[in-house]
Structure 1
Amino acid sequence: MFNNIPPITRNLIILNVVVYLASFIIPEINFYLAGYFPYSPYFESWQIVTHMFMHASPMHILFNMFTLFSFGPILEQSLGDKKYLILYFLSGLGAFFLFNLWNLIEYQSIYNQLDAIGFNVKDYVSDPTGYLASTKAAIGNNNDLLNKLNSIIFGRMVGASGAIFGVIAAFATLYPDAKIGILFIPIPVKVKYVLPIIVIGSIYLGVTGNGGGIAHLAHVGGAIVGFILARIWRKHLYRFN
């Protein structure tokens, strides 16, 4: 059955699984290939791409790969190898961009608030332990700000979800009346109704910070790119309904 999956989707699944397994054999992979905020001392340029192949847990990679397996083959056959790869990777880049754009907005707000009490954010980021030990800044009731700063600067972005949300959005744009099954809903639902609900929910969770450690705005970024590319390409793909 696995051999019947189109080659690009099959190889993307294999690559994701191989990198995930390798992260257990070589733990440093989790540090070097995950995506960090561009102002983080741990950020490297290649992470913009490599974060797409990192996953946090077995359920994380299982869900992502099953979703890619479900939607990817149809798009690969319809779009062709080149466009399908462009869709996948540009959606992943869009996810990284939007997620970190929101992080930048939050970072700047936190920076200004901490700077107002004499806390040097740049010195802290360079040497967190040493700076806290030597600073005379009155953190006081601002520990929550410091925790938020830490989550932005030292938190890692991992997963193919952004790229896969681009695939889902492209599928929904090209095949809006296709019906899919959803957990806890007894009847199939047209994908054109499902995607907007997911995107709106992701925006809400991402902006409010109630995401439970999930990069919801990355999903939105990937979906936006997938939607735009599908809108551009669909007029030239006469096979679509």
Structure 2
Amino acid sequence: MTKECYYCGFRDPMPFTCKFCGNSYCYNHRLPESHNCPGLLEYKSRARDTGIFYKKDSVVRRKQNHFLNSLNNIISAVKSNYSLMILLIVLISFVLQYIIPGYFSYLALSPYYIFSRPWTLITHMFLHSGPVHLLFNMMFLFFFGPELERRIGGKRFLFVFFISGIIAAIGYSLWSVFILKQYSTAVGASGALFGIFACLAILAPDIEVGLFFFIRMKITYALIFFALLDLLFIGSSGDLVARSAHLSGVVAGLAFGKYLKKKGNYLR
């Protein structure tokens, strides 16, 4: 069915309807700019002044609202969950390692510089040696961090995480200097995560975990397994794992767990 072009009067068998003014136009005048569309001017003015899209752009508006709602949900989840907040910071830090020159060496833990760079007792937890190291630690944090945080609260969780990490760094430094007689650099949140794991094992000894994702066992037995593994290989030559940091973190986590369990102020 042909319609007359509102602008030039030509009867077009396949007319175009302008979404801004609602009139029909021929092929040559189908664009709003081609027929001096008053609706387009109104739309631009309203969008510039209010930021609100044209009322007929329902698909755009729905997608925009969906994106904003999803973004707000993510922000709210991170704000209310310190475990996820730490995870996000670690991921950002991992990217910065490859962007900012000197970032890694300035924040990594080295027993030789521990007194001149005391901040590395904390900052080393937010660095990782590679993608595999990062993946395993973040999976560990993702599965066990929120569980402990739910039981003891956010502030206590942060305390356990950071103090365990600091004690792990000190334990690693002492072992490296006085036992191994070397000053190897250490990075990663493993010590802090072992502290979280040990604390959770004291407060909730009956929860089950998947050892290597396949073997189901109680968290207490899993902790004993990892601790024995670290004790067995702690003096091995060529071992790149900071096992002394793991064991120091375990000791700190056990102490925190015993203290919190004695106080009884946690969710069972």
What is the TM-score with the length of structure 1 in the denominator?
0.74
Q: What value does the CA root-mean-square deviation take over the aligned residues?
A: 2.2
Displacement after TM superposition at 1:24 (Å): 0.4
CA contact (8 A) 2:114 2:121 kept: no
- 1:189 partner letter: M
1:35 partner SS: coil
CA contact (8 A) 2:201 2:219 kept: yes
CA contact (8 A) 1:13 1:65 kept: yes
Report the Cα distance in structure 2 between the residues aligned to 1:98 and 1:211, rounded to whole angstroms.
19
Alignment of 1:229 with 2:265, yes or no, is no
Alignment of 1:173 with 2:188, yes or no, is no
Choose the corresponding residue for 1:217, options 244, 247, 250.
Answer: 244
In structure 2, the residue matched to 1:10 is 84
2:210 partner SS: strand
1:55 partner SS: coil
Report the Cα distance in structure 1 between the residues aligned to 2:225 and 2:103, rounded to whole angstroms.
35
Report the Cα distance in structure 1 between the residues aligned to 2:83 and 2:265, rounded to whole angstroms.
22
Alignment of 1:51 with 2:79, yes or no, is no
In structure 1, the residue matched to 2:227 is 199
Alignment of 1:93 with 2:120, yes or no, is no
- 1:158 partner letter: V
Q: Which has the larger radius of gyration?
A: 2
Report the Cα distance in structure 2 between the residues aligned to 1:28 and 1:239, rounded to whole angstroms.
42
What is the TM-score with the length of structure 2 in the denominator?
0.67
Alignment of 1:156 with 2:229, yes or no, is no
Alignment of 1:61 with 2:90, yes or no, is no
Call closer, same or farther: CA 1:211–1:229 in 2, change over 3 Å: farther
- 1:14 partner letter: L
Structure 1: segments with no counterpart, 5+ residues: 111-151
Deviation string 1:193-241 (CA, Å, 9 cap, x unpaired) is: 11112112112212x2346211011011111101100110113335544
In structure 2, the residue matched to 1:146 is none
Call closer, same or farther: CA 1:204–1:176 in 2, change over 3 Å: same
Choose the corresponding residue for 2:96, options 22, 25, 49.
Answer: 22
- 2:84 partner letter: R
Report the Cα distance in structure 2 between the residues aligned to 1:23 and 1:75, rounded to whole angstroms.
29
1:156 partner SS: coil
CA contact (8 A) 1:36 1:43 kept: no
Displacement after TM superposition at 1:106 (Å): 2.6
1:223 partner SS: helix
CA contact (8 A) 1:175 1:240 kept: no
How many residues matched?
194
Map 1:108-127 onto structure 2 (within 5 A): none
Deviation string 1:92-128 (CA, Å, 9 cap, x unpaired) is: 0111111111112136xx5xxxxxxxxxxxxxxxxxx
Report the Cα distance in structure 1 between the residues aligned to 2:101 and 2:243, rounded to whole angstroms.
26
Choose the corresponding residue for 2:150, options 57, 66, 77.
Answer: 77
Report the Cα distance in structure 2 between the residues aligned to 1:92 and 1:82, rounded to whole angstroms.
15
CA contact (8 A) 1:173 1:231 kept: yes
Report the Cα distance in structure 1 between the residues aligned to 2:94 and 2:249, rounded to whole angstroms.
21
Choose the corresponding residue for 2:179, options 95, 101, 106.
Answer: 106
Q: Which has the bigger relative contact order, CA under 8 A and spacing at least 6?
A: 1
